[in-house]
């Protein structure tokens, strides 16, 4: 990843400004004669001048000094910077002026003691032909090198052998530039041949990346794929969860978003899902601290479909990292890169390095960054507002039993009468009962949209940093305030980050990094399809429901006791949900490390490090009385303490033996992880609106939960480089993990040895390649790593506590396994890093195959054996894929015009190769109420969706019976929830201080079930359910004749509710499965950075302002909101079934950065 180069504007700018200023002050000359009108006098004025390559301005100044003549400047500003050489040690003014005029392209008019200076018309200047050859350091000619004449439009490029030829004004400056090389300048003098050697811009190739265990390595020597993301790329278009910014920037990375509100969590999946047990998330490492506990899956254990409680996304500590504090992120995609993480490296790793202090010109630097983001809803389902509330066939409306007929108010369906200007007895909010008079029957087309508001996030960061040769310090403070699109939801976050490093002696360096975050919310929205969720209400909202009728959500005189909701009794008032059903959270987290480096000698270095990831979170949920799920109210709290402490050491040795550079490291670590969650529940309350345990009607239920584990490890790493073009890496790690121990034995806790080997070679340094290839590296790696070893207590049979029962115990649902092993992933990866056309085009291609075996399966067994499942090691899942990252520089000229493009492509094929012996299928997910499943079956993928669908004739047409489509009882394969491929394309234009960047990304080939669509259709609320409301409908399909043949359906379905319910209702998994393909305009940003001269006037080191947009456009056929979703379920985020998702939003923001 290279930054666009900005031209150095400094000096040229300054002299130009001076010139312009003078010109403005001088009186304009009355008349100007032809070239070089000199009076007699200058010829006798002595003038001695010997200058080499000095700017014209200085030359003229020196002439003024000698002769007493004054120069007057007219419209020649751009000539004053031109460097000229004059060799006239004993001359006169006239001669000198002649020499100067020829070289500088100006003409002089002497008027008494003044000399007018004017630019010569270009034609008048004699052009000098110049030629030459441009070559690289090895002497090979460079074709296509851009040659420009400074301050003019003249220019050319070199031919195939590197030679060039052009005519330029004498004294011009030529600029030779080429991508990947350091630009050269020269001034044309007497000579006519100028040969130039361009040096490679080595910095772009020797980029340093942070690898496993925080070891920095040069990118060129790595034998595995990685991707490095810079701070700018992360903060380009900020969202509340910084990991959103990884979308479209890393091939092979898949983000699964819960979309669960302001604190929405993302799962980061690298190279496909491989674990049938579900723990597929990449390892997250911040400054050497594994976020091992505090990033544990969020949520509260409820699933998303009509349970007594609904999941709430409380976010994870990964979300809470402040992107402003991130220096860079390295994504280590495969086991080849993460083998040093041993039993935890199976899912790849995301290595986050936070910023440190930097040396500043003024000693310290203060940077202020302010970001304002505004979030609004970007897509809606196709709601219908033509027909109002009512059940099938009701052609009138009556709120309660009235003169018009029995009450039709309690349904939340919209199969009722059309809005035709008629009047009915409707709800009267004044009396909270039926109106006494009929009122007009009208649609309320904004009665969902108006409930939501614009989400706002304001983030302000101040950071101070500085460094000397011995000390560096950085401190940053960030405050974030968010209000979300649902009223009364949002959160505040404060972050303090401190990084300090001190060289105590030349050998001893001590450094520490600490990040403290407090995140507090008075209400995070409940997610999913259930009474506590806004989206459930939004689906059940009736077209004639007036939002204003709902704002007073308590019945008059019954605050806290009786809620007011004039329609279906299945639904809670949305304002009651937003204002009274609160989910609170307050989290304090601290991550940090202290590190000591001791450099014994040039070759030996010892690193000792202690790292801590600590968090404490207090959560609570409160539900008032008279809510559908908690008629007597509810109050629950959870105190969650989580901590991971890791101590490690690494002894490093490096030495050069002739042509071999050898480095070897050996280290060890000791890790302790604790998670402690204490929950208290009052499931019924005594007094309304008092949310304490003292107000519990029943004995409060205590649900303590604790999990501890420890891992001890030794590891080693050796790298041998041969002549800096052939690199061999070997690593090995031995872990001992407590999760595999039993009460009687630790025999099993020694897990298999995890080795890896990788090889990379810089082919372009080894063999001559065609000119077009400027750099070529091939790499290969093999590794075996583990995962899933961090779940404790699977090895012993224990009785579960029967919640709520005094001394109650129950047998476990699962049979423990005393001989459990961690999951094992074996990976092969091949890759190439290619750069073409003098590094103008870069292409990085990787193919891989990961086989994950020894899956820790809770394998279902026949319940008649007494248990749901048995914990076993079995199964094999294969992920094979292709990753391409490409970038190209279309334009880069030192004048400041730049245009670069980049893109990624990812294809991953997931295959369940085998399960356990007796297992023909393994259920990974269940759809709403058991409608549909995601199942792993040998030969299929981990995203295979099964469910009920249409009965079809042999030619595939839907079979109808009595006018209605027929659903089969059997569950059949309907599609895959895993995308086949993902791609992104981005581009960036820069011109001087302006920069515009745009990023698109998309995914293709996956399907998902939409409950939002099903439920809306069942209620007659989508436009798809409009046809046939009065007259019935004849469905497209066939009818089975008595002889077994089929004829086109010709039977009218009169019951339109029944017809659409079979077609689109939630039981019909097939019809509710939609493609989740999308293309999103993911990021767009326009930046303006203040130019340096202005900055120095303002005494600033940097200042820039940017406007950006995120998810501005979604192109998709998805019927609900966002095709890119995950559903928060029991603490995991699942693909496959959308269960009342929140609206998709687009974010527009403004960002201001000022550095002092």
**Shortest approach of another protein to residue 842 CB, angstroms?**
40
Which one among 421, 658, 806, 956 touches another protein, defined by CB under 8 A? Answer: 806
Q: Is 569 in the site for another protein (CB under 8 A)?
A: yes
Beta strands in 837-932 (DSSP E): 841-860, 869-892, 897-914, 922-926
| Other residues' Cβ atoms within 10 Å of the Cβ of residue 750 | 14
Residues with Cβ < 8 Å from 160, sequence gap 6 or more? 141, 143
Q: Sketch the per residue contact string, 618 through 647, with another protein: x for CB under 8 A, - otherwise.
A: ----------xx------------------
Site string for another protein, 79-108 (x = CB under 8 A): ------------------------------
Q: Which of 864, 1031, 1041, 1042 binds another protein (CB under 8 A)?
A: 864
Among 60, 179, 815, 874, binds another protein (CB under 8 A): 815
Among residues 370, 678, 1055, 1102, the one that binds another protein under rule CB under 8 A: 1055
Which has the closest alpha carbon to 615: 689, 677, 531, 551? 677
User: Contacting another protein (CB under 8 A), which of 48, 140, 508, 813?
Assistant: 813
Instruction: Tell me how far, at minimum, the Cβ of 973 lies from another protein, in Å.
Output: 15
Query: Residue 700 or 1091: which CB sits closer to another protein?
Result: 700
- The token pair that represents 210 in the structure block: 């942070």
| 683 is an interface residue for another protein by CB under 8 A | yes
Nearer to another protein by C-beta: 232 or 708?
A: 708
Contact 1009, 1073 (CB under 8 A): yes
Of the pair 763, 871, the CB lying nearest another protein is at 871
* Nearer to another protein among residue 98 and residue 742 (C-beta): 742
* Cα–Cα distance, 690 to 709 (Å, whole number): 39
- H/E segment holding residue 175: strand 173-177
Kindly tell me which of 955 and 969 has the beta carbon lying closer to another protein. 969
Among the listed residues 152, 192, 479, 798, the single contact to another protein using CB under 8 A: 798
Nearest of 984, 981, 945, 991 to residue 1137 by alpha carbon: 945
Does 702 engage in binding with another protein (CB under 8 A)?
no
Using CB under 8 A as the binding rule, the residues of this chain from 156 to 195 that contact another protein are none
The alpha carbon of 19 is separated from its chain's Cα centroid by a whole number of angstroms, namely 48
- Of 31-39, 823-831, 856-864, 1081-1089, which part binds another protein (CB under 8 A)? 856-864
Site string for another protein, 334-353 (x = CB under 8 A): --------------------
Strands across the sheet containing 1038-1040: 964-965, 959-961, 1038-1040, 1046-1048
Q: State the sign of the Cα–Cα–Cα–Cα dihedral 682, 685, 686, 690.
A: positive
Report the residue number, 405 or 1005, with the smaller CB distance to another protein.
Answer: 405
If one asks whether residue 506 binds another protein (CB under 8 A), the answer comes out as no
Task: Return the residues of window 729-748 that contact another protein according to CB under 8 A.
Answer: 736, 738-746
Task: State the minimum distance, in angstroms, from the CB of residue 736 to another protein.
Answer: 4
Residue 270 exposure: Cα atoms within 13 Å on the Cβ side: 28
Rounded to whole angstroms, how far apart are CA atoms 36 and 107? 6
Q: Does 969 bind another protein (CB under 8 A)?
A: yes
H-state helical runs in 46-124: 56-67, 93-104
Residue 1131 near residue 267, CB atoms below 8 Å:
no
| Nearest one of 803, 789, 676, 798 to 739, comparing CA atoms | 789
Query: Which lies closer to another protein via its Cβ, residue 175 or residue 392?
Result: 392
Whichever of 395 and 811 has its CB closer to another protein, that residue is 811
Residue 578 engages another protein in binding (rule: CB under 8 A): no
Bridge partners of 71, per DSSP, are 115
Nearest-angstrom CA–CA distance, 496 and 325: 9
Binding mask 382-411 for another protein (x = CB under 8 A): ----------x-----------------x-
Contact 368, 479 (CB under 8 A): no
Q: Out of 792, 842, 881, 979, name the contact with another protein by CB under 8 A.
A: 792
The rounded distance, in Å, linking the Cα atoms of 651 and 653 is 7
Q: Which residue has the tokens 């496959």?
A: 1136
- Output the smallest distance, CB 919 to another protein, in A: 7
Which of 122, 804, 1027, 1093 contacts another protein by CB under 8 A?
804
Work out whether 873 is an interface residue with another protein (CB under 8 A): no
Tell me: does residue 862 bind another protein (CB under 8 A): yes
Q: Does 800 bind another protein (CB under 8 A)?
A: yes
- Residue 591, H or E segment: strand 582-599
Q: Which stretch binds another protein (CB under 8 A): 246-254, 369-377, 516-524, 1057-1065?
A: 1057-1065
Residues 896-935 within binding reach of another protein (CB under 8 A):
918-921, 930
Q: Does 698 bind another protein (CB under 8 A)?
A: yes
Kindly give the residue spans of alpha helices, DSSP state H, lying in 506-665. Answer: 534-540, 574-580
Nearer to another protein, 426 or 749 (CB): 749
Exactly one of 3, 11, 659, 863 binds another protein (CB under 8 A); that residue is: 863
The nearer residue to another protein, 308 or 1036, going by C-beta atoms, is: 308
Tokens (6 digits) for 984: 């992104």
Q: List strands edge to edge, sheet with 70-74.
A: 70-74, 114-119, 106-111
CA distances to 321, 481, 535, 686 from 493, rounded to whole Å, are 10, 7, 26, 34
Q: Report the 10 Å Cβ neighbour count for 141.
A: 16
Nearest to 614, CA basis, from 523, 515, 548: 515
What SS3 class is residue 1121?
A: coil
Among 201, 661, 771, 1054, binds another protein (CB under 8 A): 1054
Q: Which is nearer to another protein, 309 or 1111 (CB)?
A: 309
Which is it for strands 869-892 and 814-815: parallel, antiparallel or unpaired? parallel
- Contact between 809 and another protein by CB under 8 A: the answer reads yes
Please, are residues 544 and 444 in contact by the beta-carbon 8 Å criterion? yes
Q: Within 277-316, which residues bind another protein (CB under 8 A)?
A: 308
Question: Which residues inside 585-624 make contact with another protein, applying CB under 8 A?
Answer: 600-601, 603-604, 606
Least CB distance to another protein at residue 317 (A): 23
Where are any strands of DSSP class E within 1005-1077? 1007-1010, 1038-1040, 1046-1048, 1073-1075
Q: Please, what's the largest Cα pairwise distance for the chain?
A: 124
Choose the stretch contacting another protein; rule: CB under 8 A; options: 195-203, 329-337, 879-887, 1052-1060: 1052-1060
Q: Which residues between 1112 and 1141 bind another protein (CB under 8 A)? A: none
Site for another protein in 703-722 (CB under 8 A): 704-710, 712, 714
Q: Scanning residues 524 to 553, which ones bind another protein (CB under 8 A)?
A: 531
Q: Which stretch binds another protein (CB under 8 A): 133-141, 338-346, 566-574, 752-760?
A: 566-574
We find the least distance from the C-beta atom of residue 1054 to another protein, in angstroms, to be: 7
Tokens of 184: 């050269």
**Residue 193 — φ and ψ, nearest 5°?**
-120, 125
Which of residues 380, 799, 973, 991 is near another protein by CB under 8 A? 799
How many chain residues touch another protein (CB under 8 A)? 91
* 656 scored as a contact of another protein (CB under 8 A): no
Of the candidates 829, 297, 239, the residue with the CA atom closest to the CA atom of residue 482: 239
For another protein, the binding residue among 795, 887, 997, 1010 (CB under 8 A) is 795
Which of the 8 DSSP states describes residue 950? Answer: B
By beta-carbon proximity to another protein, the closer residue of 246 and 571 is 571
As given in the structure block, the two tokens for residue 490 are 């949002």
- Residue 860 found at the interface with another protein (CB under 8 A): yes
């Amino acid at each position: 990843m290279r930054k666009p180069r900005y031209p150095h504007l400094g000096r040229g700018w300054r002299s130009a400004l001076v010139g312009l200023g003078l010109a403005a002050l001088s009186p304009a000359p009355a008349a100007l004669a032809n070239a070089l009108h000199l009076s007699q006098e200058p010829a006798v004025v002595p003038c001695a001048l010997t200058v080499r390559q000095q700017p014209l301005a200085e030359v003229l100044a020196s002439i003024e000094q000698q002769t007493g003549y004054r120069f007057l400047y007219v419209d020649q500003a751009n000539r004053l910077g031109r460097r000229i050489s004059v060799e006239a040690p004993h001359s006169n003014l006239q001669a000198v002026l002649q020499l100067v005029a020829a070289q500088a392209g100006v003409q002089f008019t002497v008027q008494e003691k003044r000399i007018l200076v004017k630019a010569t018309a270009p034609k008048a200047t004699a052009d000098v032909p110049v030629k030459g050859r441009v070559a690289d350091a090895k002497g090979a000619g460079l074709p296509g090198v851009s040659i420009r004449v400074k301050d003019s439009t003249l220019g050319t490029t070199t031919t195939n052998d590197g030679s060039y030829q052009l005519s330029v004004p004498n004294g011009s400056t030529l600029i030779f530039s080429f991508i990947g090389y350091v630009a050269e300048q020269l001034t044309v003098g007497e000579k006519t041949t100028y040969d130039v050697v361009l040096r490679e811009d080595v910095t772009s190739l020797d980029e340093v990346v942070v690898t496993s265990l925080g070891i920095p390595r040069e990118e060129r020597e790595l034998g595995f794929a990685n991707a490095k993301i810079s701070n700018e790329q992360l903060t380009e278009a900020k969202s509340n969860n910084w990991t959103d910014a990884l979308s479209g920037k890393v091939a092979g990375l898949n983000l699964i978003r819960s979309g669960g509100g302001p604190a929405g969590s993302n799962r980061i999946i690298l190279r496909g899902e491989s674990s049938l047990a579900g723990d597929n998330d990449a390892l997250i490492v911040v400054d050497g601290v594994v976020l091992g506990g505090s990033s544990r899956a969020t949520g509260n254990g409820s699933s998303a479909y009509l349970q007594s409680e609904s999941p709430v996304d409380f976010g994870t500590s990964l979300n809470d990292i402040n992107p402003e504090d991130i220096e860079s992120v390295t994504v280590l995609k495969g086991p080849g890169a993460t083998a040093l993480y041993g039993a935890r490296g199976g899912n790849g790793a995301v290595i986050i390095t936070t910023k440190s202090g930097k040396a500043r010109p003024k000693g310290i630097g203060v940077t202020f960054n302010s970001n304002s983001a505004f979030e609004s809803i970007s897509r809606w389902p196709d709601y219908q507002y033509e027909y109002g509330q009512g059940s099938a066939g009701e052609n009138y409306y009556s709120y309660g039993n009235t003169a018009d007929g029995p009450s039709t108010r309690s349904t939340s369906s919209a199969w009722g009468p059309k809005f035709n200007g008629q009047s009915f007895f409707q709800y009267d909010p004044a009396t909270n009962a039926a109106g006494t008079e009929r009122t007009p029957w009208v649609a309320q087309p904004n009665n969902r949209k108006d409930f939501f508001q614009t989400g706002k996030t304001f983030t302000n960061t101040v950071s101070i940093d500085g460094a000397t040769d011995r000390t560096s310090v950085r401190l940053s403070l960030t405050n974030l305030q968010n209000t979300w699109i649902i009223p009364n939801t949002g959160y505040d976050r404060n972050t303090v980050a401190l990084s300090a490093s001190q060289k105590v002696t030349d050998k001893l360096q001590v450094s520490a990094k600490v990040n403290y975050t407090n995140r507090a919310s008075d209400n995070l929205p409940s997610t999913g399809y259930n009474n506590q969720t806004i989206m459930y209400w939004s689906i059940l909202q009736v077209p004639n429901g007036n939002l204003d009728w709902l704002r007073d959500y308590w019945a008059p005189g019954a605050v806290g006791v009786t809620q007011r909701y004039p329609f279906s009794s299945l639904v809670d008032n949305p304002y009651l949900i937003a204002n009274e059903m609160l989910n609170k959270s307050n989290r304090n987290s601290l991550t940090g490390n202290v590190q000591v480096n001791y450099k014994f000698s040039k070759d030996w270095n010892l690193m000792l490090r202690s790292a801590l990831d600590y968090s404490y979170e207090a959560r609570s949920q409160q539900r008032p009385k008279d809510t559908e799920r908690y008629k007597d109210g509810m109050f629950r709290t959870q105190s969650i303490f989580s901590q991971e402490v890791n101590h490690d050491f690494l002894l490093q040795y490096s030495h050069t033996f002739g042509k071999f550079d050898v480095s070897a490291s050996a280290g060890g670590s000791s890790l302790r992880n604790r998670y402690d969650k204490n929950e208290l529940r009052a499931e019924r309350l005594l007094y309304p609106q008092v949310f304490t345990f003292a107000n519990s009607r029943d004995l409060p239920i205590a649900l303590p939960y604790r999990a501890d584990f420890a891992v001890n490890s030794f590891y080693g790493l050796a790298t041998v480089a041969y002549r800096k073009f052939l690199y061999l890496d070997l690593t090995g790690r031995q872990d001992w993990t407590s999760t595999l121990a039993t009460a009687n034995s630790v025999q099993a806790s020694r897990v298999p040895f995890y080795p890896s080997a990788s090889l990379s070679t810089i082919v372009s340094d080894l063999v001559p390649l065609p000119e077009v290839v400027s750099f070529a590296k091939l790499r290969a790696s093999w590794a075996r790593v583990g995962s899933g070893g961090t779940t404790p207590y699977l090895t012993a049979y224990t009785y579960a506590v029967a919640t709520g029962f005094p001394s109650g115990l129950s047998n476990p649902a699962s049979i423990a396994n005393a001989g459990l092993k961690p999951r094992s992933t074996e990976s092969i990866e091949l890759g190439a890093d290619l750069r073409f056309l003098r590094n103008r085009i870069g292409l990085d291609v990787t193919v891989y195959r990961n086989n994950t075996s020894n899956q820790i399966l809770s394998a279902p067994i026949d319940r008649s054996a007494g248990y749901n499942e048995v914990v076993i090691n079995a199964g094999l899942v294969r992920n094979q894929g292709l990753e391409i990252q490409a970038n190209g520089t279309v334009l880069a000229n030192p004048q400041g015009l730049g245009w670069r493009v980049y893109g990624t492509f990812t294809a991953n094929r997931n295959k369940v190769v085998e399960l356990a012996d007796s297992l023909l299928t393994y259920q990974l997910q269940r759809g709403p109420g058991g409608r549909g499943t995601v199942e792993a079956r040998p030969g299929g993928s981990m995203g295979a969706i099964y469910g009920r669908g249409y009965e079809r004739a042999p030619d595939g047409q839907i079979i109808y019976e009595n006018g209605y489509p027929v659903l089969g009882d059997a569950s059949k394969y309907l599609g895959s929830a895993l995308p086949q491929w993902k791609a992104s394309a981005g581009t960036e234009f820069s011109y001087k201080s302006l920069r515009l960047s745009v990023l698109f990304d998309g995914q293709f080939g996956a399907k998902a079930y939409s409950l939002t669509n099903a439920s809306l259709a069942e209620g007659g609320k989508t436009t798809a359910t409009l046809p046939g409301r009065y007259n019935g409908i004849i469905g497209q399909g066939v009818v089975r004749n008595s002889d077994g043949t089929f004829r086109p359906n010709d039977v009218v379905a009169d019951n339109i509710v029944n017809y659409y319910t079979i077609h689109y209702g939630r039981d019909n998994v097939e019809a509710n499965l939609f493609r989740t393909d999308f293309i999103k305009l993911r990021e767009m940003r326009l930046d303006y950075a203040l130019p340096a001269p202005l900055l120095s006037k303002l005494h600033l080191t940097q200042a820039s302002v940017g406007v950006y947009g995120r998810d501005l456009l979604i192109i998709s056929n998805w019927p609900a909101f966002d095709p890119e979703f995950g559903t928060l379920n029991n603490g995991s985020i699942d693909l496959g079934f959308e269960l009342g998702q929140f609206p998709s939003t687009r974010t527009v923001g403004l960002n201001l950065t000022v550095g002092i």
